[in-house]
Structure 1
Amino acid sequence: MSRRAAPGLKAFARRIGRRRKRRPLCCQRRSPFAGATAHRVRRARAPGLGGSMTFSSVKSAAALALWLTAAPLMAQEATDAATANADTVIATVNGAAVTLGDLIAVRGDLPAQYQQLPDQALYDGIRQQLTDQTLLKQAAEAAGLDADPQVARAVAIQRQGLLAEFYMRREVEARITDDALRATYDARVTAAAPIPEVRASHILVAEEEKARDLRAQIDAGADFADLAIEHGTDGTKTQGGDLGYFTREMMVPEFSDAAFAMEVGAVSQPVKSQFGWHLIKLTDKRDQPRPTFEDSRAELEQALGSEIVQQVMTELRDGATVETPEDRPGLGAIRNDALIGR
């Protein structure tokens, strides 16, 4: 029924062609921990001691013991970090060296979730992968596969793809400067027209008659938030029906049209939507705050990077001689794997 409001530059998604995800209108925005209370620290009797000690002091003692145990390993890691280089040998496979540089290259291309693993787990896992690959490579060479035309073609295609990827990556990194980012920020954010947004509360019920009865109670002096808590049927009831700030396109048209036409402090007549009947109370109107440059940096880099990729390709195409016959030679044979020995 509504779209999820996103922080920072995402709030200007419409202006730069980004699509927002939708979220339920009735979703609850409060933290699930909003009602949590602090737990008192229980005290535990320490066996064999005359007094008592808190759990926090027990944890402190355990942490100290763990630090004393780990200190030699930490010292070794610090020494390794100071003396290691890309040619440091981490394994040998039938006399062939596997290096730290190889491991770091593989680690750098892992998905983000694997980057969160402990260093030792990453090290051991990647080293095992590299040693296994080296064994397989040696076996393939012993079998003469390195001279196989099919293998040579696959290797050449892989090499072409890697060279293209590294070239583009370096071009993007070189062209994303602070000046370029600030120019993008000015064009996409500073110069963008203000985006109106409102803040509203609502009471959602299933029947029009119920909505009209609640409207009459409000006219008679009943508190809107109290009625939302008592009669609302969505997750916002625990917040007195508060929906927070939203832009027009974030809600279904019936709801937005009513909310944006209201004056601050007014309560609507019942509004029908696909979700039921709403009473809407408008609590504020404003222009959406613009994200700062620093808050927008990550998204600016992504947007500018996409533009640079297109620029690089345009420059290369314009400076090259590329011939693509219109009759598409070989079109009828593109599924004939036997042509390349498969």
Structure 2
Amino acid sequence: MFKPSILAAFVIAAPVMTAVPAFAQDESADTVVATVNGQEITLGQMIVMKQSMQDPSVAQMPPAELWDLMLDQLIRQTAVAEQGTENAGVRAQLEIQRRNTLATVAVTNIAETDPTEDEIKAAYDKVFAEAEAQTEYSAAHILVETEDEAKEIKAQLDGGADFGELAAEKSTDNSGPNKGDLGWFLADQMVAPFAEAVRGMEKDTISDPVQTDFGWHIIKLNDSRTRENPKLEDIRDQLDQMVRREKVEAGVEKIVTDATVEKIEGIAPEAMDKVELLEAE
């Protein structure tokens, strides 16, 4: 089924326009800015059109030019829409769009309630109150395909070879060009055998070959440090969003739970494939 876009109206030749008189000071969303064959285009529609602009360069146009552009677009859309035929599919689509718009308004109203300081503190405690400080590791590795290759590289390192140079030459993963450096990470971010090996290493030591699903690793532990929990003030914005999100989820759940819902039995799921039903007048 053809899905029309509001932007498709640009392909239609521009209609003849008449001058629009200046607005009174008490203009509203219902203020008429143009008519097309008797159908009204309102200031509210213009406002919504501007809010939906995705192209920053268009939104930054001088107000008068942007006004003319959007009004022309709405006039074309309105004129062409008269030639469209309403059917079951169109009505279904319009109803879904109407409900989605109203649902968005409802969710926005819930989310706009500012969290209290107690709610922010509770959100922080929920995440960090019982969280223990974690150890981060800085390490490098050399990854090869076979155990024999790994043992040979370990022997070269034990003999004084430079770890970074061997990583750049031998490692098969994308850390090679960076001398095998993996940066800082939590052990749990790595696969289990790698993580277990790192936890048991001392600073500036090099491991024996370690096998994972990726191959064989020679690991060098550069350093380790304790990562403290962040301070509340440092993540206040994230906590604010967390509280708002939870309020929305709880609010939506309550609305749905309180709703009177009746599911009609006897309609086969395969009925959703009968797209021909959408063509009915």
TM-score class normalised by the smaller sequence? 0.5 to 0.7
- After superposition, the CA RMSD in angstroms is 3.9
Change (3 A) 1:231 1:120: same
Q: Is the 8 A contact 2:89 2:278 kept in 1?
A: no
Aligned with residue 106 of structure 1, among 29, 49, 60:
49
Count how many residue pairs are aligned between Structure 1 and Structure 2: 248
**Cα distance change, pair 182–139 in 1 and its aligned pair in 2 (3 A):** farther
1:196 CA drift (Å): 2.9
CA distance in 1, matches of 2:102, 2:182: 50
- When residues 290 and 118 of structure 1 are mapped into structure 2, their CA distance, relative to the original with a 3 A threshold, is farther
Structure 1 residue 282 displacement after superposition: 1.0
Following superposition of structure 1 onto structure 2, how do residues 95-244 of structure 1 map, counting pairs within 5 Å?
A: 98-99=41-42, 101-109=44-52, 114-120=54-60, 123=66, 126-139=70-83, 155-176=94-115, 180-244=119-183
Mark the runs of 5 or more structure 1 residues left unpaired by the alignment: 1-82
Distance 1:202 1:231 in 2: 10
1:4 paired residue number: none
CA contact (8 A) 1:175 1:308 kept: no
Query: Are residues 1:324 and 2:252 paired?
Result: no
2:177 alignment partner AA? T
Greater shift, 258-267 or 234-243, is seen at 234-243
CA contact (8 A) 2:88 2:277 kept: no
Shift of 1:191: 4.2
Distance in 1 between residues matched to 2:117 and 2:57, nearest whole Å: 32
When residues 185 and 115 of structure 1 are mapped into structure 2, their CA distance, relative to the original with a 3 A threshold, is farther
The answer to whether the 8 A contact 1:107-1:115 is kept is no
Q: How far did residue 188 of structure 1 move?
A: 1.7
Residues 1:193 and 1:168: Cα distance change in structure 2 (over 3 Å): same
**Which range moved further: 247-256 or 170-179?**
170-179
Secondary structure of 1:331's counterpart equals coil
Cα distance in 1 for partners of 2:47, 2:192 equals: 52
Q: Does 1:276 align with 2:223?
A: no
| Conserved? CA contact 1:201–1:281, under 8 Å | yes
Say which SS state the counterpart of residue 172 (structure 2) adopts.
Answer: coil
Deviations 1:69-93 (A, max 9, x none): xxxxxxxxxxxxxx9x876877654
Q: Which runs of 5+ in 2 are unaligned?
A: 1-24
**Cα distance change of structure 1 residues 120 and 245 upon mapping to structure 2, 3 Å threshold:** closer
Is 1:248 aligned to residue 192 of structure 2? no
Aligned to 1:263: 202
Displacement of 1:179: 5.0
CA shift for structure 1 position 338: 5.1
Normalised by the length of structure 1, the TM-score is 0.57
**Taking structure 2 as the reference length, what is the TM-score of the superposition?**
0.67
Q: Which residue identity lines up with residue 329 of structure 1 in the other structure?
A: E
- Residues 180-228 of structure 1 show CA distances to partners (whole Å, capped at 9, x for unaligned) of 3443233224543333321111122334333223322322333322332
**Cα-to-partner distance string for 1:45-80 (whole Å, 9 max, x where unaligned):** xxxxxxxxxxxxxxxxxxxxxxxxxxxxxxxxxxxx
1:267 positional shift:
0.8
Taking a change above 3 Å as real, the CA distance of residues 137 and 259 of structure 1, as seen in their structure-2 partners, is: same
